[in-house]
């Protein structure tokens, strides 16, 4: 049985004629159906997925490595477990879900399972990345100059969220993520996700039924990562 993956609407915005979708649907026929359930091209997820299953079986090597490096740097610097967890999770949305506004998606994804402060820090690290904080040695990232040029104007909602965050009691938690974000893009650093198994056990409430199947407000987001190509 062949299964067809139709591109997600958000990946084909601007294709007003639906050409990409029509191309795939034209192949439907006997022995060729639309994707439903496990995509044979992806590693098989366990029936009750746990957090690290997503790191191991769904995230790109680059995304996994970046998150593990961030967490390891924070741990080596002596930060508490909540901050280390926040670093481990900070770009989780970019693992296998959504790049755009990834801090906000990521915070929402993890909110049912972590301390409120951890989700808050993940949400706000995205805005804080754009704003230097010389008091703690955080400078505007050189990479951002390359990405968007020197005249880039930070969008209003990020300015607003940065200004609110600056006054918040958890500001330093989000700021600390940005400190270990900057230096966590080394190639050839191989960290076993299992290094953080115990910490996750203490600070991430893994549901008995598995992530995606616990009927939490974000279970559908986890299922989308398990079955990213399902037609519906
Ligand atoms: Fe980020
Ligand atoms: Fe990051």
| SS3 letters across 183-227 | CCCCCCCCCCHHHHHHHHHHHCCCCCCCCCCCCCCCHHHHHHHHC
Would the pLDDT of 100 be above 80?
yes
What per-residue confidence (pLDDT) applies to 2? 94
User: Residue 144 Cα, ligand 1 centroid: separation in angstroms?
Assistant: 12
Q: What is the pLDDT of residues 31-74, one digit of tens each?
A: 999 999 999 999 999 999 999 999 999 999 999 999 999 999 99
The pTM (predicted TM-score) of the whole model is: 0.96
User: Residue 103 Cα, ligand 1 centroid: separation in angstroms?
Assistant: 6
User: Residue 67 Cα, ligand 2 centroid: separation in angstroms?
Assistant: 7
Distance from the Cα of residue 169 to its chain's centroid: 24
What per-residue confidence (pLDDT) applies to 185? 72
User: Residue 70 Cα, ligand 2 centroid: separation in angstroms?
Assistant: 8
Distance CA 58, CA 225 (A): 7
User: Residue 123 Cα, ligand 1 centroid: separation in angstroms?
Assistant: 9
User: 178 to each of 45, 74, 132, 139, 197, how far by Cα in Å?
Assistant: 31, 11, 10, 10, 23
Q: Which ligand is nearest to the CA of 174?
A: 1
User: Residue 181 Cα, ligand 2 centroid: separation in angstroms?
Assistant: 5
Would the pLDDT of 183 be above 80?
no
CATH number for the domain whose boundaries are 51-223: 1.10.3210
Give the number of other Cβ atoms within 10 Å of residue 138's Cβ: 18
User: Residue 147 Cα, ligand 1 centroid: separation in angstroms?
Assistant: 14
Contact call for residues 218 and 112 (beta carbons, < 8 A): yes
Q: Which ligand is nearest to the CA of 129?
A: 1
Q: Which ligand is nearest to the CA of 88?
A: 2
Contact call for residues 211 and 51 (beta carbons, < 8 A): yes
Which protein residues have a CB closer than 5 Å to ligand 1 (ion)?
Answer: 91
User: Residue 90 Cα, ligand 1 centroid: separation in angstroms?
Assistant: 6
Distance CA 111, CA 119 (A): 5
Would the pLDDT of 223 be above 90?
yes
Phi, psi dihedrals of residue 28, rounded to the nearest 5°: -60, 140
Indicate the domain borders of the chain: 2-41, 51-223
What per-residue confidence (pLDDT) applies to 203? 98
**What is the pLDDT of the chain when averaged over all its residues?**
96
User: Residue 164 Cα, ligand 1 centroid: separation in angstroms?
Assistant: 18
Among candidates 47, 83, 45, which has minimal Cα distance to 177?
83
171-181 and 156-166 helices, crossing angle to 10°: 120
Q: What three-state secondary structure class fits 34?
A: strand
Among candidates 176, 76, 186, which has minimal Cα distance to 129?
176
Vertex 219, ends 213 and 224: CA angle to 5°?
100
Would the pLDDT of 204 be above 80?
yes
Distance CA 49, CA 53 (A): 6
Distance CA 192, CA 7 (A): 32
Distance CA 25, CA 2 (A): 13
User: Residue 213 Cα, ligand 1 centroid: separation in angstroms?
Assistant: 27
With the CA atoms of 83, 88, 89 and 94 taken in that order, what torsion angle do they form, in degrees rounded to the nearest 10? 140
Residue 95 has which token pair?
Answer: 């693992």
User: Residue 73 Cα, ligand 2 centroid: separation in angstroms?
Assistant: 12
Q: Which ligand is nearest to the CA of 106?
A: 1
User: Residue 169 Cα, ligand 1 centroid: separation in angstroms?
Assistant: 21
User: Residue 14 Cα, ligand 1 centroid: separation in angstroms?
Assistant: 26
């Amino acid at each position: 049985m062949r299964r067809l993956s139709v591109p997600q609407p958000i990946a084909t915005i601007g294709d007003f004629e639906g050409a990409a979708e029509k191309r795939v649907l034209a192949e439907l026929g006997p022995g060729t159906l639309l994707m439903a359930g496990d995509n044979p091209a992806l590693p098989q997820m366990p029936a009750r997925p746990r957090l690290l299953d997503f790191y191991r079986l769904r995230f790109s090597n680059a995304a996994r490595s970046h998150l593990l490096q961030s967490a390891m740097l924070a741990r080596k610097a002596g930060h508490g477990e909540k901050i280390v967890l926040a670093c481990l999770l900070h770009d989780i949305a970019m693992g296998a879900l959504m790049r755009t506004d990834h801090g906000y998606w990521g915070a929402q994804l993890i909110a049912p399972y972590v301390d409120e402060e951890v989700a808050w820090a993940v949400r706000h690290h995205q805005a804080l990345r754009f704003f230097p904080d010389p008091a703690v040695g955080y400078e505007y990232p050189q990479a951002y100059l390359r990405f968007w040029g020197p005249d880039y104007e930070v969008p209003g909602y990020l300015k607003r969220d940065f200004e609110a965050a600056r006054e918040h009691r958890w500001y330093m938690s989000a700021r600390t993520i940005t400190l270990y974000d900057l230096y966590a893009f080394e190639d050839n650093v191989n960290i076993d996700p299992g290094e953080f198994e115990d910490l996750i056990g203490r600070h991430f409430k893994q549901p008995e039924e598995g992530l995606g199947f616990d009927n939490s407000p974000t279970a559908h987001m986890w299922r989308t990562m398990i079955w990213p190509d399902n037609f519906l």
